[in-house]
Chains A and B, each alone.
Chain A
Amino acid sequence: MERLRQDDPVRIGDFVVLARLDADGSRGVPERRYLARSADGGRTVLVCLPPAGGDPARWATEAQQAVRLVQPGFWPVAQVGGSPAFPWYSSPYRPVLPLPAVLAAYGGPLPEALVRTVGGTLAEALASAHVLGVVHGGVCPAGVLLTACGPLLGCFGATRATAVAGDAPVPATVLETGCLAPELAAGGPADRAGDVYALGAVLAYAATGQTVPERQEIPVGLREIVTACRSRDPEGRPEPARVLAELLPGAAYGALTASVEPVSLPGRVVEALSRQSAEVLAAALPSPER
């Protein structure tokens, strides 16, 4: 839970804003994300607003599409609201750490085993989406939300699936540059190969703390697959299913994203997750009768 700033909204729709999800000064966050609670105290949600520099109307259209998609491994969008000028969407809260917060809690780049688990789960999520013709289009470190049961892909709204939203150009301002494939940066449409490029950037970030590391900074075991994902030529990038097989040899396909059991996480990461959970549990709305 991060403290609210002066310019943060007090209410979003029916929700009273409790805290920010992202730490102050986080870079490359393509949405404004808040922890909020319904005014009757009954529902706690993660609610997202378009980024400061983005196009609210376009973002709202994407949110409308996303609410109809239930994709394993993707952060679910439960409710869309607001107006075209001030759109928002919300999802039921559960304890989550954006990938940069995971690294901050751990105190640096993650151990290779955890990079493999996180990367493998994300690859599986992309693989099952791509089969249906759904492209994420917004994969980036801040868009990876780690729960106790593994990572989910949030921040769909940076760009959206060709099959769903058509060939819209990418607004280059909101996505971290290291996550944007060269062909997209040149104005091309979001596609599957672009997701794989971004996945490579996320893997690199998890393993080194940077989306664009020097090759030798990447741990040897991951070097080849990360480099392959990040190849300039879209044709040279592997399919997500191959990324999964490389990262987690022998993993049963479909088991990772559907897991409701906790995964092994470092002590400090569990500490941060459980602390956030405890803080949100203990948070109370200022009630008028008090």
Chain B
Amino acid sequence: MISPLLHDDPHTVGPFRILARLGAGGMGTVYLAHSAGGRTVAVKTLHTRLAADTTLRTRFRLEADAARVIGARHGAVVVDADPQAPTPWLATEYVLGPPLDAAVEAGGPLAEPAVRMLGASLAAGLEQLHRSEVVHRDLKPSNVLVTAQGPRIIDFGIARAFGDEHLTNVGNAVGTPAFMSPEQAAGLEHAAAGDVFALAGVLVFAATGVGPFGGGAPTDLLYRVRYGEPDLSGVPEPLRPLLVRCLAKDPAHRPSTTELRTALGGGEDAPADRGGFADLLPDAVLREIARRSDEVWREPPHRLPPPVPAEAPRPEAAPAGISRRRLLSVAGGALLGGGLLGGGGWALFAGSGGTGGGGTKKDAVDRPKPPTQLWSNALWCPASGGEVMQVGRNLVMRAGIVLCGINAESGKSTWQASIEETWRSATDGTRVYALRGYREKASLAVCEVSQTTGYLGKPLAELSAFAGKEQFNQLLCVVDGIAYLVARAASGKSWYLVAADLKSGKERWRSPVEGPQAQGFPPALCGAVIGSRVVLCGSPSTDSHFILLSSHDKKHGRKQWEMSETFAGATPPSRLVADDHNVYLGAENLTARRLSDGGLEWMVGNGRDVGDSAGEERRYGAPLVQDGVVYCTEADRGLIAVDALSGTLNWQEKGLSGRKNSRDVTPAVGERYAYCADDKGLRAVDLRARKAVWTYEATPLVLTADPKGGRLYVRQEKRTLALPLA
């Protein structure tokens, strides 16, 4: 709803003058705004903090594309968008209607004719999307706005990949996986038929006020979605057979959107009867639509003044943050998200620069070609924790809210476990571990995840001194039967680095550390056991560029040293890159810090010619250390190889131009090639020729080399590939 601007909200976004707030969340803020011509729009912005993340930017662009595909009748009109702006934004029509969940709450379940018309219109909207090969993936009552002219579909399912915000909001039908398809709940491909399943769920909700799988904890819901029978007892009898078909577990048994639309009585085109839909709506919903139509024309509320500082304020706990967070739950007008089918494809070799005029036939024959994929699986890659973990001969990957066991040979999913948050699971290379669900018991427990069923076993260690119901408890790693965690004490607000012995089930030691620094993020970015130490990298606070590195004695937990390190750009490192001597960080410079005392061992970057990107805050990408060599991308020049001990440059990639390296993607190195991600795809750099030899069209987020299996795993936003590692 329309609420006042905060004192630090912008006055303009792109060409729009900001009037009021419509809502805010972890990703950004939605404003009510005016164009120069006085057109009123809803402007969705992406937090500047997140905007440096190229994948988020890409998703933002995809949202605009998908919203354009669905069109004005079934979606919200896209007025303008600038995904490239420092604060990316998307301006859409301000849609005059409450979300379906609010509508049902206000006016009760809809009568059968209204459900039919709603369903026919939603099916027509999905039909439109599917014709353009776009899948919504997150159709649920809160993403359907009920206007007097018919329902409008907003907020595409792409949001699920970031931080699963909607899963933290339990207890109501929104914010649970209640409308997921079984295949999606299993972390598998959710195609057009998945949208049909979700649509049926939305119709059951509209007709009864409850989703077909009820409510409750996400874990239970996920189970019921996958294995349970839908409850259609409150649904009008004539609708049941159709909805039962739509809710079939097997996507192949569900009707198409066209069939569904026809069965619900929808014509090919818009209903000729203007107001026919509105006539079927309950009075309370009509009043809500009328209220929204009128309210938007009232004088916008005044901008709130800056907060008065509290006595002796801590800088990171300013009252502004509190008031802002209070507004987080406010639902907004035309929030849009978009989902397009991702997928790796082929690119013929994009020349290594300067050749021009197209390659000759001879070139095509002589040059190595990009390989054929070994397998691919539609697994989503989370914003953090997306690395491919090798467990025995198989793989484990985090995909949204689930942990998936994958057969490394075939790429097929073998089991799935619900882990709730990406930071609550780890592996020691043979077994898989996760923290017990934070909605379950008062004490914290580390459990083993069964690699056949995906169920969490009996606790291996139960730590009653720590709060089990803390969402941001973190399992850093498990090494030699000891689990290392960051956890909150059961009483009070103190956080500790904890070592728990999984054989005896006892706590070994604990050492106080900083708690979470930013809303929605766990206390640590990463942590690892390196030799005799546990090295921890704390999360930065919101808008800060400081991360706290600390080293603890592995035996007793004693803190040996800690130091603040700055990271450039907006994305802090998500993996600790270290060998026996140093920790390596790529930022404005490539630096090595000694593990013994945290001091600077060497630094590469001062005085280097990095071409056009010289002025950039972040010039060096996430590094990789392998066999005494640190590999790292340097601005947009290419890969460099640096001696890990001395920091001297071994070599640098030749002849690369016209590419934008993806700084957040750590390179992978095989015997013949090093692999880097850039804006054109996955680039293979010949380690002897020190030149790019081919580019595979993909948008990698995480690269993982598997030298034993001879495979390179490429995780993309929506799809994970295996390529032969050479």
Contact = CB atoms under 8 A, between A and B. Distances in A.
Interface of A: 37-38, 40-44, 92-95, 105, 147-149, 261-268, 270-275, 277-278, 281-287, 289
Interface in B13-56: 17, 34-40
A271 to B, nearest CB: 4
Contacts of B97: 274
A20 B289 CA distance: 23
A38 B34 CA distance: 13
Contact of B38 (A148, A264, A275, A285): A285
Given A262-B291, A264-B287, A281-B296, A289 B36 contact: yes
Contacts of A149: 294
Interface residues of B, number: 37
A271 B39 contact: no
Contacts of A262: 287-288, 290-291, 294
A274 B290 contact: yes
14 contacts: A41-B34, A42-B38, A44-B297, A92-B297, A93-B297, A262-B291, A264-B286, A274-B96, A274-B148, A274-B289, A277-B96, A282-B39, A285-B36, A286-B37
A46 to B, nearest CB: 11
Nearest to A38: B38
Given A147-B294, A149-B294, A275 B287 contact: no
Contacts of A41: 34-39
Contact of A267 (B280, B296, B297, B298): B280
A274 B277 CA distance: 13
A41 B274 CA distance: 30
A283 B38 contact: yes
A95 B293 contact: yes
A264 B285 CA distance: 10
Contacts of A271: 148-149, 274-275, 277-278
A148 B278 contact: no
Interface string B279-308: 111010011111111101111000000000
Contacts of B148: 267, 270-271, 274-275
A69 B94 CA distance: 34
A267 B114 CA distance: 12
Given A95-B294, A105-B275, A282-B93, A270 B38 contact: no
A116 to B, nearest CB: 16
Given A267-B280, A282-B77, A273 B293 contact: yes
B386 to A, nearest CB: 40
B286 A267 contact: yes
A268 B290 CA distance: 11
B74 to A, nearest CB: 15
B39 A272 contact: no
Contacts of A38: 38
Given A41-B35, A265-B287, A283-B38, 4 more contacts: A92-B297, A92-B299, A274-B148, A285-B37
B290 A270 contact: yes
Interchain residue pairs A-B with the least CB separation, the first 8: A41-B38, A284-B37, A267-B278, A268-B275, A148-B290, A267-B279, A277-B293, A271-B148
A258 B280 CA distance: 29
Interface of B: 17, 34-40, 77, 93-94, 96-97, 147-149, 274-275, 277-281, 283, 286-294, 296-299
Contacts of A272: 275
A278 B34 contact: no
A43 B147 CA distance: 25
Given A264-B287, A289-B36, A148 B293 contact: yes
B290 A266 contact: no
B297 A266 contact: no
A213 B565 CA distance: 85
Contacts of B278: 267-268, 270-271
Contact of A284 (B17, B35, B280, B294): B35
Nearest to A268: B275
Contacts of A282: 39-40, 77, 93
Contact of B290 (A43, A265, A284, A289): A265
Contacts of B290: 148, 262, 265, 270, 273-274
Interface-central residue, B97, B286, B287, by most chain A CB under 10 Å = B286
A247 to B, nearest CB: 20
B116 to A, nearest CB: 16
Contacts of B94: 281
Nearest to A106: B275
B395 to A, nearest CB: 50
Contacts of A273: 290, 293-294
B294 A265 contact: no
A108 B594 CA distance: 84
B39 A265 contact: no
A265 B35 CA distance: 32
Contacts of B39: 41, 281-284
Interface-central residue, A92, A94, A270, by most chain B CB under 10 Å = A270
Given A92-B297, A148-B293, A278-B293, A270 B286 contact: yes
A268 B94 CA distance: 21
B38 A44 contact: yes
A38 B36 CA distance: 11
Contacts of B36: 41, 285, 287, 289
Given A270-B289, A274-B148, A94 B294 contact: yes
A267 B17 CA distance: 33
A151 to B, nearest CB: 13
A200 B38 CA distance: 40
Contacts of A283: 38-39
Given A147-B294, A267-B286, A271-B149, A278 B96 contact: yes
Contacts of A263: 287
B660 to A, nearest CB: 31
Contact of B149 (A43, A95, A264, A275): A275
A148 B148 CA distance: 13
Nearest to A93: B297
B40 A281 contact: yes
